Amino acid sequence: MSTLAIELVRRARLRQRSRWTAVTAALAVAAVALCCAMLMLGNTIYPVRDVAAVLLGEEVKGAAFAVRTIRLPRMLAGLFAGFAFGVSGYVFQTMLRNPLANPNVIGITAGSSAAAVFCIVVLQAGRGVTSAAAVIAGLLTVLVIYGLARGRTFSVGRMILVGIGIQAMCNSAITYLLLIAREYQLPAAVRWLTGSLNGIRMEELSWLIASVLIFTPVIVLLSRPLQMLELGEQTAVSLGVRTDRTRVALIVGAVVLSAAATAVTGPIAAVAFLAGPIAVRLAGTARANVIPAGLVGAALVLAADLVGQFAFPVKFPVGILTGIIGAPYLLYLIVRMNRKGEL
Amino acid sequence: MNRHELRAERLVAGYGDRMILDGISLEIPANKISVIIGANGSGKSTLLKALTRIIRPVSGEIRLDGKPLHAYPSKRLARIIGLLPQSPVVPEGITVADLVGRGRFPHQSLFGTWSKKDYEAVAEAMEIMDIANLAHRHVDELSGGQRQRVWIAMALAQQTDILFLDEPTTFLDITYQIEILDLLTDLNRRYGKTIVMVMHDINLSVRYADYLFAMREGRLVAEGRPSEVVTSGLIKDVFGLDAVIVRDPVSGAPSVVPKGRYHNGAGGIASRESGYAADWQAAGQAPKGKAEEGAATVTAVKAGS
């Protein structure tokens, strides 16, 4: 073969790779900037110097309490939950090759939410039990959806439709539980309807952070086989991917991430659904977009929370704002897929 | 290319409870182009899927160089047997170089760092398919013919000795069909790659195949060199179609001219049983333009659909 062809390939690849790296770095910078903003902004605006001092353990009058007890947990919850939703959505969308296939739309998040509300309202359980129940319910929901959706051959479209049905059932269960809830339980329980970062305490975050730190590397390690799955089942098998095994590992990772995030913040609407496509559009397909999708998810949640907190006279929970962005995109997608005959 | 022995024995396979392959035994001729023909639902795609381990046989066995297919580590097998499925999925926004590069997966470590060999294999594959100058283009912007060349390049970058293709020409214009089949023939003649295809177009199958497998209802009804096995009896048997076999004036291979209710060939060219039409006298006497037109029609006829 000619050196020219090698050079053309090398250049095409390099261009794609540099774009990916640049976009990922930019997304990381954006996420960090939003994190800083979350710590600085509030009833009182603290300069970077004070925030840094508090984080380093110094006692800065006034700032210490607000930053450490209120803003830091809120920021970390937004960061990790957004990241988890983003990664989880990307994995589902890529693996099932359908932008509608993500934990929000196919009802996994709703399953986790329903279990969490049940734990809070009926069992009056603590955080640990609630989180565990949310994760287990998420996995069970996947099994139920998969079981109902498999006919003679597996179909993603059927899985999405069954998921939408399951989601409706879970949501009605949540509504019922909220109706019978005691008044003091309501603030904690209402979070399960829209998703919110209000009143999250540091000790609630350990599960979520641990899940992200454990499962993100697992998914990154599986991201090359994931890219092959994207080419279709048959191509993936013929390229030597052990598709069943890979799929199960990816599903478990993605479900744990989305359930752990749901257990802390509630189902923040549309983040899992938006993050992947945005990341792919920005970064290209040179590498799997696991990390970019996570960063986009985190940036979306943090930005939406900042807007919800400070842009209007009334404070809105983050899920309402992400929902406002997500709904039109969902409609756009459905119209486009319908035109292409993919629905 | 290395010589491999790929054999199936009493293969039974299907989907769920529905069995499609009914005890097929065959050996894929090494370093040749084989084409599997048959009517819709005869099991030709299923056979291809079983031979490429997409579906697992219910009973019977497939052996590659004497060892059962499932005993191979999956990546090692992917370095020997490649497959281009009928409708592979193009991820949104993927570039040509990226897609072709994915064919290197079975040769790479978990992290997918590219070695010099990877670059060479991808460049070579793109050059053979004449798409090197499209390297940076998005696959979804390309024409159907270009896109099919990209997919074949991906399968070539995989550098397997055996390549299976499931209807590689189905959605293409006739010009691209010939172009793709010529390129595949190049691969076989130049590098000795074993090629196995499922094809719909009976006349192109016959023209390009070194070896034919004819299927009906999940069984193999005939196999062998096209010039030996293609008879009007076989076409009747496989497709349930009355046809006259003539000599393809371009390649010399047998060519199937189907009959129908409106065109039943009374007084036409003699059928294969009575030998080829005496040196194509009929065609020779016809005006030149008409004869060419006739040949083109024969080639474009889709059997079995």
Give the whole-angstrom CA distance, residue A101 versus residue A81.
19
In this predicted structure, what is the pLDDT of residue A342?
65
The phi, psi pair for A6, rounded to 5°, reads -60, -40
Tell me if A1 and B120 make a contact (CB, 8 A cut-off).
yes
> Which chain A residues touch B135 with a CB distance below 8 Å?
8-9, 11-12
Minimum CA–CA partner of A230 in chain B: B91
Average pLDDT over residues A219-234: 93
Q: Residue A282: its pLDDT value, please?
A: 93
Å from A87 to nearest chain B CA? 18
Residue B301 scores a pLDDT above 50: no
The partner residues of B15 in beta bridges, in order of sequence, read B18
Angstrom CA distances, A209 to A204, A216, A261, A319, stand at 10, 11, 9, 20
Q: Which residues contact B168 (CB under 8 A, 6 or more apart)?
A: B84, B148, B152, B180, B181, B184, B197, B199
Which residues does chain B have within 8 Å of residue A237's beta carbon, measured at their own beta carbons? 52-54, 74, 83
* pLDDT tens per residue, range B193-209: 999 999 988 999 999 99
According to the model, what pLDDT value does residue A325 have?
87
Write the CB contacts of A191 (distance below 8 Å, at least 6 apart in sequence).
A198, A265, A266, A317
- How sure is the predictor about A343, in pLDDT bands with cuts at 50, 70 and 90? low
- The span from the CA of A54 to the CA of A51, in Å, is 5
Interface pTM, i.e. ipTM: 0.83
pLDDT band at A107 (very low <50, low <70, confident <90, very high): confident
Distance between CA atoms of residues A177 and A169, nearest Å: 12
A53 — pLDDT class (breaks 50, 70, 90):
confident
From B97, B123, B158, residue closest to A1, measured CB to CB: B123
Record: contact A239-B132, CB cut-off 8 A: no
Confidence band for B155, pLDDT divided at 50, 70 and 90 = very high
**Which has more pLDDT, A187 or A248?**
A248
Q: For chains A and B, count residue pairs whose Cβ atoms are closer than 8 Å.
A: 131
CA distance B14 to chain A (A): 11
d(CA B162, CA B27): 13
Q: Look at residue B96 in the predicted model and tell me its pLDDT.
A: 94
State the number of CA atoms in the 13 A half-sphere of B89 facing the CB.
18
Q: What pLDDT was estimated at residue A231?
A: 92
Residue A185 has pLDDT above 80, yes or no: no
**Nearest-CA distance from B131 to chain A in Å?**
9
| DSSP letters for B212-258 | EEEEETTEEEEEE-HHHH--HHHHHHHH---EEEEE-TTT-SEEEEE
Pairing of strands B33-38, B194-198: parallel
**Mean of per-residue pLDDT scores for chain B:** 85
CB of A8 within 8 Å of a chain B CB? The answer is: yes
- One-letter amino acid of B248: D
The Cα of A209 is separated from the nearest Cα of chain B by a number of Å equal to: 25
Chain A neighbors of B147, CB-CB under 8 A:
none
A8/B85 Cβ within 8 A: no
| pLDDT computed for residue B113 by the predictor | 85
Q: Are B212 and B35 in contact (CB under 8 A)?
A: yes
Domain boundaries, chain A: 77-339
Chain centre to alpha carbon of residue B298: 19
By the CB < 8 Å criterion, does A227 face chain B? yes
Judged by CB atoms closer than 8 Å, whether chains meet at A234 and B88 is answered as: yes
B49 vs A: CB within 8 A: yes
Would you say domain A77-339 falls under CATH 2.60.40.60? no
Interchain contact B87–A (C-beta under 8 A):
yes
**Res. B123 pLDDT band, cuts 50 70 90:** very high
Give the B window 171-200 contacts with A, CB below 8 Å: none
CB contact under 8 A, B77 and A240: yes
B15 touches chain A (CB under 8 A): yes
Average pLDDT over residues A8-33: 93
